[in-house]
Structure 1
Amino acid sequence: MQYYSRETYIHLNGDFVKAAEAGADFFGQSLHYGYAAFEGLRAYSTHHGIRIFKAEEHFDRLKKSCDAINLPYQWDTPALITSTYELLSKNNLRAAYIRPLVFSGPNMHLTAASSSNIMIAAWEWGPYLGQNLLRVCISDVERPNPKSLPVDAKVSGQYVSSILATSDAIKRGFDEALLRDQEGYIAQASSENLFIEKDFKLYTPPLGNVFPGITRQTVIALCKELNIDIVEKKLTVADILSADSAFLCGTASEIIGIKEVDGIVYKEDWEHTIGASIQRKYKKLVLEEENYEVII
């Protein structure tokens, strides 16, 4: 898809510039080594106007990701949120996916950056994985080891493994891949968190080897609000294959059900699952159609 036109603006180090005219530094560690941090947010067109869902949490996490890899971060969250709303206005966007990226200044050494830049882009983007139930496979690609990379940070370089896993899954006729951690447990999908349903309870892998997604935390909060039993535990391949149903969640994908894993079709009709109920509640939450102040 085309992410920008000649009239599209991005936010770059405090200024609004045309995306087609913005230059790139070819001597930065971000380009050569993947030394960068990013976020993904969504803006929704609600009855109360344009709303960026949990904007403060996302920008605060961007700072934490930069801190985790010693990438300088000098920006103020409220100011970035204001600039992002202005960016949406300049691009005439009411509903959009938003991508902030912090990247390093010029440095060819394998040392911490002494300077950094921030770019924010936005474009119209439907749910990343579409809206149909997914056919998923278990990948041979593993999640990065927490001792080699901070897996709780959105660091650009670690997503190479996600690209490899997803590309292989699509080549094999699937929609998405599930990745194991270094202990052999199922951790998450390439860029989404995983939940399974078994005997009227939800289960999800615990933090430590999975990304602490904001959508993941929102699902957990919704479960508590709706009195749905939710358990965080390490999940084996057998757990995944014997589940009654399952779904993925993330800002880009929102909440989307899984039809089958490695050819094994889940027995529960999606519309009657806990995941489908959460999916409907989540949509009402982000569109501000119900009052979930305790969750927001």
Structure 2
Amino acid sequence: MEDEPHGVHDFVYDPRNANVLISVNGELKHRDEATVSVFDSGYLLGDGVWEGLRVKNGGVAFLDEHLKRLYAGAKTIDMDIGLSKEDLTQRLFDCLKAQDMNDGVHIRLMVTRGIKKTPYQGPRFTITKPTIVIIPEYKAPVPEVIEKGLSLFTVHIRRTGPAEQDQKLNSHSKLNCILACIQADKAGADEGLMLDADGFVATCNSTHFFIVRDGEVWTSPPDYCLGGITRGNIIRVCEEAGITVREKRFSLFDVYSADEAFVTGTFAGVTPVREVDGRTIEHVGGPMAKRITGLYQDLVARSLTPIK
């Protein structure tokens, strides 16, 4: 019997998570008691924006970049978060300090438009301030997943462009990614590889995708993918280290014959890919991926905003 798929977001079980406190509009509640209204915009419509953040060695990685993306997303959907970046940062820190959570933590920071007086999409039916939820959990990637590498399956669900729903918007509405994830699961793969409207490689359903060819690192242009914080920082460390990195369109032809492939994301950083659509990638966790992983980890260490 074949192994069950293990995606890049699988994590090592940690019993401490059973009693974490969740911040719901500034109030700390045990995870079993942390709830939002059934009339909340996020529940009714997926109307909101969110960020995933990492805590390491007493600080939050790339905090300014994440908050910049969060507030840009909120402005895009014409939503006033109701807190300044400084006040939201302090609320985040207060949640962490109350539980002495300072290392090995992953945070989901979510902001929805708030509670509605009736189930309808119009923002004018919202009767409260935005709902702000902060979920911190102790999470570490499964080592075996990193060592073995991921299997990807190219799904038929396409990434939309700005004319449909701009992928730069990190919204709660992720149904296209969920459908891609389901198709990959059904195919026995760990993650879905998604194409753009013209059939070029765009990104994965929950991570960004890179290939290595002839000593160069390639990733898709940002037109059909989220403006990933980790993606941008991988490009940055490559440029700083003199590694040729290209944001360019490429097809599955280039993927199947790549020397290396890997995905990136806030949770696991850099994760190798071992196969795509049954085609074996030549070097899994090869020299380029290892070098970039080291460069990225150094950058993370320099990026930390101390919890205070």
TM-score (norm 1): 0.88
In terms of mean alpha carbon deviation, does 63-72 or 15-24 score higher? 15-24
Aligned to 1:221: 236
**Alignment of 1:61 onto 2:69:** yes
SS at match of 2:32: helix
SS at match of 1:281: helix
Equivalent position to 2:30, from 4, 8, 18: 18
Could you tell me which amino acid in structure 2 is paired with residue 173 of structure 1?
Answer: G
RMSD over equivalenced CA pairs, Å: 2.2
Aligned to 1:154: 170
| 1:54-95 deviations in Å (ceiling 9; x for gaps) | 111111211111111122222222222232222222223222
Does the aligned pair in 2 maintain the 1:201–1:230 contact within 8 Å? yes
Q: 1:142 to 1:18 in 2, by over 3 A?
A: same
Aligned length: 283
Q: 1:269 to 1:61 in 2, by over 3 A?
A: closer
Sequence identity (%): 25
Aligned equivalents of 1:174, 1:286: Cα separation in 2: 29
Aligned to 1:277: 291
Does the aligned pair in 2 maintain the 1:101–1:119 contact within 8 Å? yes
Equivalent position to 1:103, from 112, 128, 131: 112
Unaligned runs of 5+ in 2: 1-12
CA positional deviation for 1:131: 1.7
Unaligned runs of 5+ in 1: none
Does the aligned pair in 2 maintain the 1:9–1:16 contact within 8 Å? yes
Aligned to 2:51: 39
Aligned to 1:190: 205
Aligned equivalents of 1:38, 1:269: Cα separation in 2: 32
In terms of mean alpha carbon deviation, does 225-234 or 83-92 score higher? 83-92
SS at match of 1:82: helix
Aligned equivalents of 1:102, 1:14: Cα separation in 2: 12
| 1:247-295 deviations in Å (ceiling 9; x for gaps) | 10010231111111111112235332x122101222233245xx99xxx
Aligned to 2:3: none
Aligned to 2:159: 143
TM-score (norm 2): 0.85
Could you tell me which amino acid in structure 1 is paired with residue 40 of structure 2?
Answer: G
Aligned equivalents of 2:269, 2:219: Cα separation in 1: 16
SS at match of 2:223: coil
**Alignment of 1:91 onto 2:99:** yes
Equivalent position to 1:206, from 221, 233, 244: 221
Does the aligned pair in 1 maintain the 2:40–2:114 contact within 8 Å? yes
